[in-house]
Structure 1
């Protein structure tokens, strides 16, 4: 009943938001104020960047990479394979949840980043260059740092040996990292102070909500009914609930990757929990999982999940356009399928009503004339990645006695 109510609520929200054009109305209220704040803070950012030094550039760039989405995506498989399954599951879902809400606000408000020039913007990695193409408020790095560091601290204090010293040390480290990330985002010219303050505030709200519901979510994930159907339906609804930004940004693509990884993880855990993810799995450095066995898991697991991701992408690039054209779903491709990049290249095959009949008429009712098949391809490849981390890789570990 709760799952059905959640799906009904999400579907109702999609309809209400579309019918009353809530995206445009909310943007008209928030965007001018945020834009004025960002422009007004330009001089403060320039004064702060006067302390620039090559060592600071490198330190803050590395620090931003350590708390970036690619780092956490690479870190989570290692956490799963170390035996800390509950922590890894919750961090995966919390990362997808916080990333979705943060990107929704980004594209809803569509507020600019600090103007560069005059602000000096440092983008060392390709990931940072993509991040610079997104809108500014809130800062995703600070938001996710608050959420993930806060949940890790909660987990350690709840399930570890906790005393006054541990509590003080944990809070101090978490607070220090959040402050350093906030400073780094301003120093690197990626965000204004308003952006990072908004990221911290949103992160605290999301973390507080997650700490209330995380045990219920985990119980549903492990032993609930129709979990895979629920998560697939929710993933689809979240795509339609995503606001349309003023200009195209990579934020929606980032959401799809996180959402798909979470779905693949959910599917894998739901079907393999009692085989490979028991309530008390062997932990790293224990007698059942010595360091050498864990290193073997990493050496076997990393190539396995990368191979699955690559094969999922290749298979979906070939299969999904064929399925869509067969069903009469109008599609285009922005990068993955060159034959569908040209305008009208897909509609020539799918516009004939005799080809798909009823489905063609159904899709003609939707506002979009064509759908980007790259979204589905990206979803399949990252869902395959998530499934391989918790399903396929543990199966191989069992066969190899790792």
Structure 2
């Protein structure tokens, strides 16, 4: 594609004016070894979009909208991070560490690939995006982290259910396996139905999840045994390897929050290894089924004290986060400014450096894996009212906007080539037949501008859906610049992020794992909540 060069100016916030950015944004931002595979995969994403729109229209009902929007929450790492501590507190430390391993690997490596290739989600329109999470659409699309998480957890859990050591009754075992299959299928189909991912996104994401689950099944217990018997130097080596992977996480071409989730789960993983190793050395830990098992027996503890254990443990986690996060954000900036002057920092793109701000604002609205206390009421509201979902049409992120503009440019170039041989009307060749449904959907690609419908918007009817959308129009370079500026002004942008947040996340989430595995058992024992 011919390069279009435009002068770059800076707006009042120091960000490049979106209306003057080059359409060859990714070619300029990515090295060739990352740009080449991106350009090879991108046509497949564009090719499958009309088929996804056709599938979505055929399946859409208000009930399915609510079902798939709600069940998508069960595939997020936020759900698992809240659910996993219960496994540890209920005496299932081995299962908890196994789940943590597959989830940490899934979130980190899917985010790694997302930021490596910077591939967009399927275009909207023609797709409508149905979600209960505003931050999900800000990430790149390939691969699907939801699919990675769902498949890795389902395969790992099913493998445990089918093992000879499982003592469940056959009826309960079969029912549990059936629930896991339903869960995985619901998550994967839901990503397609909700317009959040394409076929290739979920296939590759599922493949990554299957690979991660296989590694855990083959080597997970060996790794856990090695960690518990490790020396202090060996634990330090594991920590340094994980930190090195965090630092090597690719720099994205756009302001994508994938890195934040990768850092959070890296912190949880590090904390879990430290806590399991330390707790296994204590006299409080039970040696079976693993040396770091938190003491628990339902017959002895009973349901009231079990519930109280969970409540106290959750409150401890939230208290740690509410205290440590603002504290670290207040004390770290001066430290970072000193390190920056000494040349000891390696800044990341899209993170504001400590030398450019005085202090980090309080009450940052971010995409933390563990929600803040202020977010809890909205979480319960979502659970009580699962029909509350947003249905969006048009670009929602910088990656969406660039893909929309790039596809418009592609269509215009194709139209110019066709005009030399055929009479065209609005980019479509005149023939004796009416355009097919897929052709209408294809004509809608690249036509969108950001907008959001009411929360309970009904699906479009088959009579007025794609026909009302205009085909891409011919535009001058001046019009292109105006369209870009308007589009980038309307899309939802990630908030300003600060360099100290990376270290803050690592410390906070390391501490969360330590509280769950190594601190809470002593609290339970001192309060008489242990067997």
Query: Quick one: distance in 2 between partners of 1:323 and 1:201?
Result: 42
- Pick from 315, 332, 335 the counterpart of residue 303 of structure 1: 315
Alignment match, 1:156: 161
- Pick from 58, 78, 100 the counterpart of residue 108 of structure 2: 100
Query: Judging changes above 3 Å, is the alpha-carbon distance between structure 1 residues 165 and 29 closer, same or farther for their aligned structure 2 residues?
Result: farther
- Pick from 30, 37, 41 the counterpart of residue 44 of structure 2: 37
Contact preservation (8 Å) 2:38, 2:117 = yes
Alignment match, 1:312: 324
Alignment match, 1:109: 117
Contact preservation (8 Å) 1:253, 1:375 = yes
Mapping of residues 137-148 of structure 1, within 5 Å = 137-148=142-153
The Cα shift of 1:170 comes to 4.8
Alignment match, 1:11: none
Query: Quick one: distance in 1 between partners of 2:249 and 2:347?
Result: 19
Query: Judging changes above 3 Å, is the alpha-carbon distance between structure 1 residues 289 and 149 closer, same or farther for their aligned structure 2 residues?
Result: farther
The Cα shift of 1:161 comes to 2.1
Query: Judging changes above 3 Å, is the alpha-carbon distance between structure 1 residues 388 and 247 closer, same or farther for their aligned structure 2 residues?
Result: same
The structure showing larger relative contact order (alpha-carbon pairs under 8 Å, at least 6 residues apart) is 2
Structure 1 window deviating more from structure 2 (26-35 vs 158-167): it is 158-167
Alignment match, 1:392: 519
Contact preservation (8 Å) 2:239, 2:270 = yes
- Pick from 81, 94, 100 the counterpart of residue 73 of structure 1: 81
The Cα shift of 1:145 comes to 0.7
Gaps (5+ residues) in structure 1?
Answer: 1-22, 347-370
Structure 1 window deviating more from structure 2 (239-248 vs 57-66): it is 239-248
Contact preservation (8 Å) 2:235, 2:274 = yes
Query: Quick one: distance in 2 between partners of 1:401 and 1:163?
Result: 32
Query: Quick one: distance in 2 between partners of 1:43 and 1:311?
Result: 48
Query: Judging changes above 3 Å, is the alpha-carbon distance between structure 1 residues 333 and 398 closer, same or farther for their aligned structure 2 residues?
Result: farther
Structure 1 SS opposite 2:231:
coil
Contact preservation (8 Å) 1:317, 1:336 = no
Query: Quick one: distance in 2 between partners of 1:219 and 1:195?
Result: 35
Contact preservation (8 Å) 1:283, 1:289 = no
Query: Judging changes above 3 Å, is the alpha-carbon distance between structure 1 residues 58 and 284 closer, same or farther for their aligned structure 2 residues?
Result: farther
Query: Judging changes above 3 Å, is the alpha-carbon distance between structure 1 residues 220 and 282 closer, same or farther for their aligned structure 2 residues?
Result: closer
Contact preservation (8 Å) 2:98, 2:216 = no
Alignment match, 1:354: none
Contact preservation (8 Å) 2:161, 2:173 = no
Query: Quick one: distance in 2 between partners of 1:164 and 1:400?
Result: 38
Alignment match, 1:5: none
- Pick from 274, 278, 282 the counterpart of residue 271 of structure 1: 278
Matching of residue 292 in structure 1 with residue 325 in structure 2: no
RMSD: 2.7
Structure (1 or 2) with the greater helix fraction: 1
Alignment match, 2:212: 206
Contact preservation (8 Å) 1:324, 1:331 = no
The Cα shift of 1:71 comes to 0.4
Query: Quick one: distance in 2 between partners of 1:340 and 1:259?
Result: 23
Matching of residue 220 in structure 1 with residue 226 in structure 2: yes
Alignment match, 1:62: 70
Alignment match, 2:334: 322
Query: Quick one: distance in 2 between partners of 1:74 and 1:335?
Result: 29
- Pick from 30, 49, 52 the counterpart of residue 60 of structure 2: 52
Contact preservation (8 Å) 2:72, 2:190 = yes
Query: Judging changes above 3 Å, is the alpha-carbon distance between structure 1 residues 229 and 285 closer, same or farther for their aligned structure 2 residues?
Result: closer
Query: Judging changes above 3 Å, is the alpha-carbon distance between structure 1 residues 166 and 143 closer, same or farther for their aligned structure 2 residues?
Result: same
Query: Judging changes above 3 Å, is the alpha-carbon distance between structure 1 residues 331 and 245 closer, same or farther for their aligned structure 2 residues?
Result: closer
Q: In the TM superposition, what whole-angstrom CA distance separates every residue of 1:77-116 from its partner, at most 9, and x where no partner exists?
A: 1111111011111211221112111111111121110112
Query: Quick one: distance in 2 between partners of 1:324 and 1:102?
Result: 29
Query: Quick one: distance in 2 between partners of 1:395 and 1:336?
Result: 39
Contact preservation (8 Å) 1:331, 1:340 = no
When normalised by structure 2's length, the TM-score is 0.61
Contact preservation (8 Å) 1:134, 1:251 = yes
Query: Judging changes above 3 Å, is the alpha-carbon distance between structure 1 residues 291 and 282 closer, same or farther for their aligned structure 2 residues?
Result: farther
Contact preservation (8 Å) 1:84, 1:283 = no
Query: Judging changes above 3 Å, is the alpha-carbon distance between structure 1 residues 209 and 331 closer, same or farther for their aligned structure 2 residues?
Result: closer
Gaps (5+ residues) in structure 2?
Answer: 1-29, 360-497
